[in-house]
Amino acid sequence: MSHTIVTSVCEGVADCVDACPVNCIDQGPGKNAKGTDWYWIDFATCIDCGICLQVCPVEGAIIPEEKSELQLMK
Ligand code: SF4
Ligand code: SF4
């Protein structure tokens, strides 16, 4: 299982990127519906540790489930 970054909610703060112990969070191209940068989690590499969710300042941007329909990939 994996965590998911909800593309339309992420604000591109990127606190999650440095916090992830397996370096599986990458920036997507362009802007999301909010007009901000956005990031995505590589489901195949994520170890479901939950650290990204703890450090993300944006309510609802990361959810502790694998929901591919909510997250665009690069
Ligand atoms: S998921 Fe949260 S911490 Fe990560 S880039 Fe988006 S807003 Fe920032
Ligand atoms: S749950 Fe852990 S391994 Fe998965 S993206 Fe978040 S910080 Fe990285």
Ligand nearest the Cα of residue 51 is: 2
- Per the structure block, which two tokens stand in for 6? 């909800």
Total Cβ atoms within 10 A of residue 21: 9
> How many other C-beta atoms can be found within 10 angstroms of the C-beta atom of residue 54?
11
Give residues (CB < 6 A) around ligand 2. 3, 19-20, 22, 24-25, 41, 46-52
CB 39 within 8 A of CB 10: yes
Residue nearest ligand 1's atom 6 by CA? 10
Instruction: Please tell me the distance from the alpha carbon of residue 70 to that of residue 9, in angstroms, as a whole number.
Output: 10
Cα–Cα dist 35/43, whole Å: 24
Domains and CATH numbers, the chain: 1-69 (3.30.70.20)
pLDDT of residue 74: 82
Per-residue pLDDT of the chain (74 residues; tens, 9 = 90+): 899 999 999 999 999 999 999 999 999 999 999 999 999 999 999 999 999 999 999 999 999 999 999 999 98
